[in-house]
Structure 1
Amino acid sequence: MANRGDFAALERMIASCRELARLPELAAPIAARNVEAELRASASAGRAPDGSAWAPRKSDGGKALANAAGAISAKAIGTVLLILLRGHHVFHHFGAGSVSKRRIIPQGSIPPKLGNAIRLGFVPPFRDIVKGRKS
């Protein structure tokens, strides 16, 4: 026979399941921070988001786009992640005129490292919800 404690536990479980519907909006800001960090790390290493190395500078063969990481930002708008690239780095990303093309932000499919950064954004709010902590 069920008692009040059992019904209270069931009600808490139902409330947690309902709260899971908010998971994408709770995870998006965390995922945006993770994505920004991953993109800045790849740019600092002189690599495209897919891990391929950028071509060296034509002038002296040195590291290209040394300040590209500072031109990258990411933010959450609802459940959408918006990645921004500012300044002259946009011309390098797309390759304009004599400027070599060096991918700085992803285009097309999401590279595995960025996919992992997004997925990791879901972990903290999921844990909070299933443990009954308020988000």
Structure 2
Amino acid sequence: MARLRTSLLALGFTAATLALTMSPAQAAPGDVTNVCSSTLTPSGFVDVQWWNSFSCGSSFDPNMKQIKQLTGLPIGTTVNACASTYPPAGWVQVSSYYNSSCRYSSVPSFNNNAWQLKRVS
């Protein structure tokens, strides 16, 4: 019984890990996906939130992030994004500000860490 329980826990952990690390390639414009911080933010996406989660390991640094698909959004659209990734091509920074949800370091500051982005092309 203990062996079965251990196997089921391992299988569940593996499934959760795969779900967190799957590529968000099928995301529609504006969709958000949660990934571990060790996953690079794909082209066309921006980080919009950071936090700690045991599902991505244990550390004092924020180890999970929410990313948003910007590819396909219409010209003129504005979005708020963390400054932890560069804006995708066709997007420009309109303003910068501090956002507590964008603290991606274990030693945060109150410096501007977020941007308002606008699609221009």
Normalization by structure 2: what TM-score?
Answer: 0.28
More strand by share: 2
- Ranked by relative contact order (alpha carbons within 8 Å, sequence separation 6 or more), the top structure is 1
More helix per residue: 1
- Output the TM-score relative to the length of structure 1: 0.25
